[in-house]
Amino acid sequence: MSIIRDPHPDITFLRTHNLMNGHMIANLLKDRISFIRQTATEEITKENYLKSIELELNVMHLCKQELDKEYGPFAINRPQHSNILICISNQIDYLYYTMFQKFSFKKELLIEYMEFQTKNKRFITNEIHPLVVLMSKKNCDSKLYITAATYQFEHHDIEAARNFFNEGILKYKNDKNLRIEQLWVEVQYLEDRKGEYPCQLAIQKYKETINYFRGDIVLHIALLEKSLQFKTIRSLHYAIISDFVELYKENDLMWKKVAELASEGFTYYHDQRLFEYTTKGECRARCCIIVYEKGLETLSDKEIKRNLIETFTEYLIKQWLTNSIKEYEIRNGVREAMERAFQMGHFELGGLHKPEYYVYWAEHTQARRLNILRLAIEHNKKNVDPWNTVLKHQIMLNESNYRFIKKIFDDGVQALKNDSLLLWDVMDSYLQNNNLRLVCCNVRCPQLEEFYESGANSPYEDINMVYRVEYLQWYVLYNDITSIRELFSNLTSIQPDCKKLYMIMINYEKLEDPLNVVTIKDLYNIVCSRFGQQENDISLFTDFIQFEFTYCNGLDAENVYNNVLQFVNPDLRRALKDVYNSIKQSHIRRTGFVRNGRCVQSFSEGEE
């Protein structure tokens, strides 16, 4: 007697357990039939597939939930119950697979399918090609192979992960990311096994990659960095680093990378065939220096050598400045390495890359400091830093020898021209200190006035703009008003115009007794007309108006206000008007000023 199989065990289960009413089941069957017809007519869309998958997943959820509720968590082990889930799982699996055959898909959908397969592996009995075969037939993007392989590895199936990588590399031989992620999975697998699994396969995959992409140092560095994320896989580390050094011995990027690794604790000993990790700062520094110097000894191209020595020099200076190495022997080793690097850079490679390198060289080499600074100037005559260091050094050593210091200053200004302001500031400070000592003896420093005068009359705008102001500020301390006005007149005749000169003179004139109102008004008018439109605030104009109210009268102040409106930035006119009205009302309250028998009214809102 033959057994009659139920073609729709899920529908029967839904009816038997009252999980759906008749109308809902009819709609479910109708949707299934409609989907089958659409697939037959080739009118099916990806959205139809996704809708059908969602429908079947809901049915599966209802059935599982009821099985757990009625028969307990082990119900799915009984054939009469598992058949229901087998039927639905195979249907959903088929829907996913055929959708992938027909339409393109992204990694989110791929992961969704793989998660479904993982959760329902025991119920899926479809005899269809594995997913990796489908992906290869469809020419899927290489990133999907990485996604699938990573998913399989994270779910503890290393062989499936390897299959996805191998298939992806077969399709995309030139895709470097596939190779990098392949090695990364092997590295993680080795770390998970904690030495139980040999490194041969990982080394083989690495070798295949560098042989295919021979000469690609950037890829080699990426593979090396991936392997170093775990410090215990030493045989793989050594295989990669030894090839790296051998293949790129004439490339400065290799030496920089190996030195950088040494500074991070990864030390490579070529002769001993060792690659180790250390936490000792002293050992890191020593190995880093050894690598750089070995690179400089090995490289034959002069320009490549210059690139490497620049990086080496920056490393040494950083070590020196941060004082990260405290032991005397190591610190002394860094100092000696600096000396060797500076000498090679200057004498063998045509000069150090940056002017400040000479400054560091001079700072840590006291015995030959002056000679090194002279070298700095010879190679960097247009750079202010060496000149600044030389000038400060000479002031420190020969403070009393003004003539010698002045000669260095003059030479620097002649070389730097408009860029020499820093030297002027150093010289100013030096002469100010001398002046203070002489003032204590009731004597004025004659060189200081000569210095300010030469700065004020300098042909270089950046210098005379600063030192015209400095000269006037200093001059008012020692001279009478007549002399000060004469100097001011001379300084304002020098181009370009300088607003600060006028403001200093206005403030100084305000201190005179009696006050020369006409002179101050003339100065304010000049400043407003020449610099008014350049102002980003109204303080200049309000100062002028306040002065008129204080020392003249309200009518003059009103005239000033109306006049300056033509100079003020249009965006600031409203603010100026408000401040003017405020000053005006304060003046009225203070003085009881009356015009035509009544108090002067403020401007109306519409008045300009």
Q: What is the pLDDT of residue 151?
A: 96
Q: Pick the residue with more confidence: 556 or 413?
A: 413
Q: For residues 83 and 8, what is the distance between their CA atoms, to the nearest angstrom? A: 10
Q: In the block, which residue shows the tokens 């000894």?
A: 297
Average pLDDT over residues 417-437: 87
pLDDT above 90 covers a percentage of the chain that reads 44
Q: What is the pLDDT of residue 180?
A: 97
pLDDT digits (tens, 9 = 90+) for 122-152: 888 877 778 888 888 888 999 999 999 999 9
Contacts of 289 (CB under 8 A, 6+ apart): 316, 333, 334, 337
Q: Which residues are registered as beta bridge partners of 274?
A: 269
pLDDT digits (tens, 9 = 90+) for 467-522: 999 999 999 988 999 999 999 999 999 999 999 999 999 999 999 888 899 999 99
pLDDT digits (tens, 9 = 90+) for 241-251: 999 999 999 99
pLDDT above 70 covers a percentage of the chain that reads 90
Has residue 600 got a pLDDT over 70? no
Has residue 278 got a pLDDT over 50? yes
584-608 exposure pattern, b = at least 16 Cβ within 10 A, e = fewer: beebbeeeeeeeeeeebeeeeeeee
pLDDT digits (tens, 9 = 90+) for 153-178: 999 999 999 999 999 999 999 999 99
Q: For residues 600 and 404, what is the distance between their CA atoms, to the nearest angstrom? A: 67
Angle at 360 between CA 357 and CA 364, to 5 degrees: 145
90-124 exposure pattern, b = at least 16 Cβ within 10 A, e = fewer: bbbbebbbebbeeeebebebbeebbebbeebeebb
Q: How far is residue 359 CA from its own chain's centroid?
A: 28
Q: What is the pLDDT of residue 74?
A: 65
pLDDT digits (tens, 9 = 90+) for 346-400: 888 887 777 677 777 776 776 677 777 777 777 777 788 878 888 887 788 778 8
Q: In the block, which residue shows the tokens 């996704």?
A: 50
Supply 491's token pair: 């300084």
Has residue 583 got a pLDDT over 90? no
The one-letter code for the residue type at 90 is: N
pLDDT digits (tens, 9 = 90+) for 31-59: 988 898 888 887 889 999 999 999 999 99
Average confidence score pLDDT of the chain: 85
Q: For residues 476 and 233, what is the distance between their CA atoms, to the nearest angstrom? A: 77
- Within 10 angstroms of residue 465's Cβ, the number of other Cβ atoms is 19
Contacts of 258 (CB under 8 A, 6+ apart): 241, 244, 245, 268, 291, 295
Q: State how far the alpha carbon of 596 is from the alpha carbons of 11, 593, 599, in Å.
A: 105, 10, 8
**Cα torsion angle, 218, 220, 223, 224, sign:** negative
Q: For residues 77 and 229, what is the distance between their CA atoms, to the nearest angstrom? A: 43
Q: For residues 181 and 169, what is the distance between their CA atoms, to the nearest angstrom? A: 11
Q: For residues 201 and 186, what is the distance between their CA atoms, to the nearest angstrom? A: 8
pLDDT digits (tens, 9 = 90+) for 76-111: 666 666 788 888 999 999 999 999 999 999 999 999
Has residue 324 got a pLDDT over 70? no
Q: State how far the alpha carbon of 199 is from the alpha carbons of 138, 156, 213, in Å.
A: 33, 18, 21
